[in-house]
Chain A
């Protein structure tokens, strides 16, 4: 097992008091596996990934839990040790390739920086490696492109550069935080395909964070659905997407527009996501759930392990989506 997150809870100090963004989240990731964390904005997906990287903003902190990476708890490591892991063993790419690259350095410099930081290659070897990486991520004419500044590249090209930076030191884990959200649909498919290829080629594990179930269906081996900072359902992608057991997962799936469906209105989950400071100590979805009973509001439902998944719900539904 490469990554094993156990009972992770992350909180932020805000003006309205301490707010929990991630609540008792556990999941694990095998070598070479792609796990998707799915949820609406504010469900705690990104905070989970930043907690793993140790890159929370200064008002955030992990209040409990463990992040076991290769059998060692990252949360107990010093900043110095973490810096040697970041960009080296665990890399990250982000949603906005437009703003994720530093505008005043050439893309070549930004890739080289990563290589030279974590390896002992000479300048010349590093440059060769950089060109190789650019070629690998499918950037045409790398020799010319390395002298370009980010603003001279398209969004898709920039995301490829980000992936080249992330792959610079052949990491074991790639955290991709909404890597395709800001891109055109055709480019989305190319980037997903590239991530998929990197996994095949280097046997890296990928933690794919997205709100797009289409992306999940296309790329992920397993999926964990998050709602209000908690994982509500987790299992193999094919199982979860075809036979959701948690009412929230079902709601999400029913909200996707379908080509063969000719109703006028899209399905909408009734109600709103509660703000993080108002998340109840019982099932957070109960107040929006059609299947909810009084029992749902008595306490937090336990994780129920079925043969193909775990679900945090006491009224498990069995329905084909």
Chain B
């Protein structure tokens, strides 16, 4: 197990290397010249050249890459062309918002998705199955910004139950701390601020969860249906077990592998920033921010974001694979003999 883990972590290196080369090249080949964006289109050629020289953009591209990687390996992701703040600071101020939102969204999506997926499978072709599957189909097809706006209009506009955007009311914003508002407010015991943050998060989280929820529901249903037809389920019933035990102990644990996989992948993509949701709800996460940076060719920031997202994705996959081994003895066996 430990050996496997080490092997997998070592495999991270080539993946991240490849990603870094790719994003570096793409930025430099396809992006508009950052100098004219930073200095404005009426700048002189000399000024632009001087700025490029200062930023090291006149070096050969290989030299630029090596310099960049040298700095990255020393924990320095560079400085944003526009704000002159270190990329690390920029990202650290926004990542907590994205992580917080993603965690809430994936929790909602997993609980609701797995629950309805199981019911759907057990009551196949019933009214509730058809209803759930139709809803899931709508969930997969509905554009996120549209769902977000509908929710804002209903719950914020008409019912005034929750605010329409932002992470927390400005006056309640916890100072300092980790940037994770739920954590920060609980640590200092400011429950009012905690609930305020929760109110802000609920609509974007539901919006964000919608798609994942639909995917998870469908995967749970099909995986459960597959397992429920297995011979060992018949054995479990023939033992005299209650249907509850048959479904949850014998069927669900076997159906879990594909479900964990989609949850992991969905969580990975939620964490990499939900551009539309963050834009609709003015949520200060990395999704909306990175799009902004792409539009203005802010190379260091984009490179940083892509590297971190790739890292998150690979780690999610690793986590899923480790869970496999924990859940299914056959997987562990295959690894040991491999």
A-side residues, CB < 8 A to B, are 53, 55, 58, 82-88, 91-92, 94, 96, 99-104, 106, 113-114, 117-118, 149, 151-152, 162, 165
Contact = CB atoms under 8 A, between A and B. Distances in A.
A99 B231 contact: yes
A157 to B, nearest CB: 16
A118 B240 contact: yes
Interface in B221-254: 230-232, 234-242, 250, 253-254
A165 B234 CA distance: 13
Contacts of A86: 237-240
Given A55-B237, A113-B239, A117-B241, A102 B329 contact: no
Contacts of B232: 99-103
Nearest to B243: A79
Contacts of A149: 329-330, 333
A146 to B, nearest CB: 14
Contacts of B231: 94, 96, 99-100
Nearest to B242: A83
Contacts of B330: 103, 149, 151
Contact of A101 (B235, B242, B327): B235
**DSSP majority for the B interface?**
helix
8 contacts: A55-B237, A85-B240, A86-B237, A87-B239, A96-B231, A103-B232, A117-B241, A165-B239
B67 interface: no
A99 B230 contact: yes
A102 B239 contact: no
Interface in B124-139: 124
A103 B240 contact: no
Contact of A87 (B240, B253, B333): B240
B235 to A, nearest CB: 5
Contacts of A117: 239-241
A210 B215 CA distance: 43
B240 A104 contact: no
Contacts of B124: 58
Contacts of B237: 55, 86
A66 B254 CA distance: 36
B328 interface: yes
B9 to A, nearest CB: 26
Nearest to B126: A58
Interface in B293-330: 327-330
Q: Which 4 A-B pairs have the closest CB atoms?
A: A87-B240, A86-B240, A87-B239, A99-B231
Contacts of A151: 329-330, 333
A41 to B, nearest CB: 16
A49 B238 CA distance: 11
Contacts of B242: 83
Contacts of B327: 104
Contacts of A85: 240
A94 B234 contact: yes
A49 to B, nearest CB: 10
A99 B234 CA distance: 10
Contact of B328 (A58, A99, A104, A162): A104
B235 A55 contact: no
A100 B239 contact: no
Given A99-B230, A102-B232, A53 B238 contact: yes
Contact of A104 (B236, B238, B253): B253
A92 B329 CA distance: 26
A113 B250 CA distance: 11
A53 B241 CA distance: 13
A77 to B, nearest CB: 12
B197 to A, nearest CB: 39
Interface string B193-211: 0000000000000000000
Contacts of A103: 232, 254, 328-330
A118 B254 CA distance: 24
A18 B241 CA distance: 29
A113 B242 CA distance: 12
B254 A94 contact: no
B261 to A, nearest CB: 16
Contacts of A53: 238
A149 B253 CA distance: 15
A82 B235 CA distance: 15
Contact of B333 (A55, A94, A113, A152): A152
